[in-house]
Structure formats: structure tokens, C-alpha cells
Amino acid sequence: MGVESFAGCEFVTMEQLWNVFDFSVWYQSHMCYWLNYVTQLVYTLPIMQDLFTTNNYARFTDKLDEYYEKQWFLPFLNNEVYHSDFERYRNNIMALNSFHLVQWDNDTILFPRETSQFG
């Protein structure tokens, strides 16, 4: 279903942003904030989707209209938008007899980790 932020940068609270006395927390929270902010600004640009394949897996739930309109890969793979192979994708999934998804408790790549199971 896609990822929403960099691993390790999932939750940046206002308390973390204003905690200027703990430099390591302050530095990480600000770096995470800006990494996620810049990613959200550029993830749908065609050149970014061509250069960085990870941009094709970005799915920000607060910008779904933009995601459906501009993403080239994930909305089609997830069958979230109509396309020429929509029925074939649907029929292939419906024809499966079994389907196994694995979720690892210590996943450091996917956030939220439940996205590995369509969560």
C-alpha cells in the first residue's frame, strides 16, 4: 500500500521539535521533519519518480488526490485507479487459492509496518 515516511522518522512530536536541551533528539527530530517535508514536496515529480524508485512507493494519506493523479506505479499495482489492465489485475487476485503475507516485528524499512499486509 506504500510508505508514508522514512524509517525511524515516523513520529515527530512538537515536544521533540522544541526539546533544544537534548541535542541528539532535537537533531534527529528536525532532520526527520525536513526529510519527510521535502519528500512530500517532490515525490510526485516525474524526474524524481524516474531517478528514485522509492518515490514510486510513497503514499501520503493526506494527499491522496495528488497520489492518484501523479503516481505512475503504486495506484495501478494496488488497483486503486481504473486502467487498461484493471479487470485482469482483479481477476488474477481473485483466482488465487492462497496468499501469504509476512510482517516482521523489527521491520526498519516499512512504516507503518502493517503496510506489508495491506494495513
Q: Give per-residue pLDDT as tens, 54-113.
A: 777 778 888 889 888 888 888 888 889 999 999 999 999 899 999 887 777 777 666 666
Task: Answer whether residue 90 is part of any domain.
Answer: yes
Neighbours of 75 (CB within 10 A): 19
Task: Answer whether residue 45 is part of any domain.
Answer: yes
> Which tops the pLDDT comparison, 4 or 98?
98
Chain centroid, CA 64 distance in Å = 11
Q: Of 16, 51, 52, 55, which Cα lies nearest the Cα of 33?
A: 16
Inform me whether the pLDDT recorded for 41 exceeds 70. Answer: yes
Domain range spanning residue 80? 14-117
Task: Answer whether residue 48 is part of any domain.
Answer: yes
Task: Answer whether residue 85 is part of any domain.
Answer: yes
Inform me whether the pLDDT recorded for 114 exceeds 80. Answer: no
Q: What is the pLDDT of residue 14?
A: 65
Task: Answer whether residue 5 is part of any domain.
Answer: no
Contact assessment for residue 9 and residue 38, using Cβ atoms and an 8 Å cutoff: no
Task: Answer whether residue 9 is part of any domain.
Answer: no
Task: Answer whether residue 1 is part of any domain.
Answer: no
The 10s digit of each residue's pLDDT in 5-22 is: 766 676 656 666 666 666
Task: Answer whether residue 3 is part of any domain.
Answer: no
Q: Of 69, 7, 59, 66, which Cα lies nearest the Cα of 32?
A: 7
Number of structural domains found in the chain: 1
